[in-house]
């Protein structure tokens, strides 16, 4: 379908941006930038076709750059953003909300969404970091390297070629918004020429192509506090993607992943470990010396006659409380190990011990067989 001035396109958005439907965000963004530069009205003065194509490309990018809008478009197509019909759902309500605010907002003294618009804040970014349980216990200071957009040094983030300036958008008079009559209502939308920034760059910076930002590799210091757990986020304010044309940057979120430990398992601030002991220690009692993650030796007293599966707790020897005081507990689960390699002398001693058994030494075993005989006899 040919494009006409002021026409809302029904051409497939992916076709407009010359992308496959499976294209990632970076590919869509790159393609949009190239096409926007090609068809921008300031570079094609008086060409109605270029202006219409620019508006259509901008409309497509506004949808596909937003994950929720893109998902709705992939499922329903253009019907997802029409004000009538069942497919729009939440989008219909949002459109009605815009209309209501546009008509009644000024009568109530509030204007429309706070006046002038401006360049959008940069996107938040995610970085996944793997740490050991010991590092989660003590905390960690380290440096990470990330590829992120940063303000262009050549134009100081303005997007304009050095020696030139940014001018006010004539289409929206610098407000970043335009109004259109729809029946009895006046609908306010982001300006399709300046994309809501209120400014137009006649002579873009050659290094950033008018974006005011370029891709850079940055080294950032990260401080991981003691007590973090799987999925804990560390926020680096202002270290996300730079905003376009001097807009505020987003944030960088460090998502922490704790590697599995060879000995300890964790549940919140509690540390668990299994400790095998000899059957003589289980029978007579004794003590275990457990090295903790805190670097200290923790002595665990073993009462005589302890059974496998019994848990012994050492208060305050677990993980530290994140951004708080104190620590959790260390829990040792006892596993009584039956000897498999006995000397002749040890076998003789055990044989002598068995000859002295009366059954009262192991009341649970005696009780079990008594109940078994009773159940079978019954």
Binding site residues, as ranges?
Answer: 152, 155, 169, 172, 191, 194, 205, 208
Give, as one character, the DSSP assignment of residue 119.
P
Per the structure block, which two tokens stand in for 70?
């893109």
Take residue 31 and report the two structure tokens written for it: 């393609």
Name the pairing type of β-strands 252-258 and 125-131: parallel
**Looking at the chain, which runs of residues are DSSP E strands?**
125-131, 140-151, 167-168, 177-182, 185-190, 199-200, 213-224, 233-236, 252-258, 265-267, 270-278, 286-291, 297-302, 311-314, 330-337
Distance CA 3, CA 196 (A): 22
Q: How far apart are CA 306 and CA 91, in angstroms?
A: 65
- Residue whose token pair is 């306010």: 188
DSSP bridge pairs for 301: 287
Annotated binding site for Zn(2+): 152, 155, 169, 172, 191, 194, 205, 208
- Enter the tokens of residue 329: 């507990």
């Amino acid at each position: 379908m040919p494009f006409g001035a002021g026409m809302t396109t029904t051409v497939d958005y992916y076709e407009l941006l010359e992308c496959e439907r499976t294209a990632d965000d970076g590919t869509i963004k790159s393609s949009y930038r190239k096409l926007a530069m090609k068809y921008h009205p300031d570079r094609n003065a008086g060409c109605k076709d270029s202006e219409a194509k620019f508006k259509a490309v901008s409309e497509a990018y506004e949808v596909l750059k937003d994950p929720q809008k893109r998902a709705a478009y992939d499922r329903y197509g253009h019907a997802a953003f029409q004000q009538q019909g069942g497919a729009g759902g939440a989008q219909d309500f949002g459109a009605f909300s815009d209309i209501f605010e546009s008509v009644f907002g000024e009568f109530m003294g509030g204007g429309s969404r706070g006046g002038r618009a401006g360049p959008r804040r940069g996107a938040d970014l995610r970085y996944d970091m793997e740490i050991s349980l010991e590092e989660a216990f003590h905390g960690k200071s380290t440096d990470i390297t990330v590829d992120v957009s940063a303000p262009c040094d050549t134009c100081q983030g303005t997007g304009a070629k050095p020696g030139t300036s940014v001018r006010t958008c004539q289409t929206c008079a610098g407000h970043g918004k335009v109004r259109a009559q729809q029946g009895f209502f006046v609908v306010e939308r982001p300006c399709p020429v300046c994309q809501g920034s209120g400014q137009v760059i006649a002579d873009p910076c050659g290094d950033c192509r008018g974006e005011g930002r370029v891709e850079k590799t940055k080294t950032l210091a990260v401080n991981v506090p003691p007590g973090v757990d799987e999925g804990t986020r560390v926020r680096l304010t202002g270290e996300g993607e730079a905003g376009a044309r001097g807009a505020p940057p987003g944030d960088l979120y460090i998502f922490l992943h704790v590697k599995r430990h060879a000995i300890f398992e964790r549940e919140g601030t509690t540390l668990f470990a299994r400790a095998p002991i000899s059957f003589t220690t289980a029978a007579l009692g004794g003590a275990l010396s457990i090295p903790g993650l805190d670097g200290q030796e923790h002595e665990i007293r073993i009462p005589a006659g302890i059974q496998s599966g019994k848990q012994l707790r050492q208060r305050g020897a677990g993980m530290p409380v994140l951004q708080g005081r104190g620590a959790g507990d260390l829990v040792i689960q006892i596993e009584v190990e039956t000897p498999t390699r006995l000397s002749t002398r040890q076998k003789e001693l055990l044989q002598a011990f068995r000859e002295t058994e009366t059954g009262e030494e192991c009341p649970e075993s005696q009780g079990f067989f008594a109940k078994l005989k009773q159940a079978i006899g019954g």
